[in-house]
Amino acid sequence: MPLIYHIARQEDWQAAQRAGSYQTDSLASQGFIHCSTREQVTRVANAIFRGQRDLVLLVIAPGKLAVPLKFEPPVHPETGQPETGTGEQFPHIYGAINLDAVVQVLPFLPDATGVFTLPEA
């Protein structure tokens, strides 16, 4: 299965390393952690995180996850409501992410205009 991606704040990733697993507010409020495929991640970043400079990109190996992963229609991260009519599926992780499933952590900075592109690595 191809790698999936999660956009995280640097401080949240650092806290996860101390805690031994990575969690988000959406896990408590919606029951899962929002992720993206390679093709989706920059669109998500530019829609939700445009211009933010405190981010890292977690590269996750689905086969290493200790919790369920499901590909489902998008859910708006702020309202928690499903977005219908797109036909698109996003990876959702149903539990805290075990740190060994994160195979790479990349700096994720926007350009001078605030726009994100995928890091080279």
pTM of the model: 0.91
More confident residue, 86 or 43: 43
Res. 19 pLDDT band, cuts 50 70 90: very high
* Nearest by Cα to 94 from 45, 23, 5: 23
Report d(CA 52, CA 87) in Å as an integer: 28
pLDDT at 9: 97
pLDDT at 121 exceeding the cut of 70: no
| pLDDT band for position 17 (cuts 50, 70, 90) | very high
Q: Domain 4-107, what architecture?
A: Alpha-Beta Barrel (3.20)
List pLDDT tens digits, range 29-44: 999 999 999 999 999 9
Rounded Cα distance between 36 and 116, Å, is 14
Across the range 66-92, mean pLDDT stands at 84
Q: Which tokens belong to 64?
A: 């290493």
At 87, phi and psi to the nearest 5?
A: 75, 0
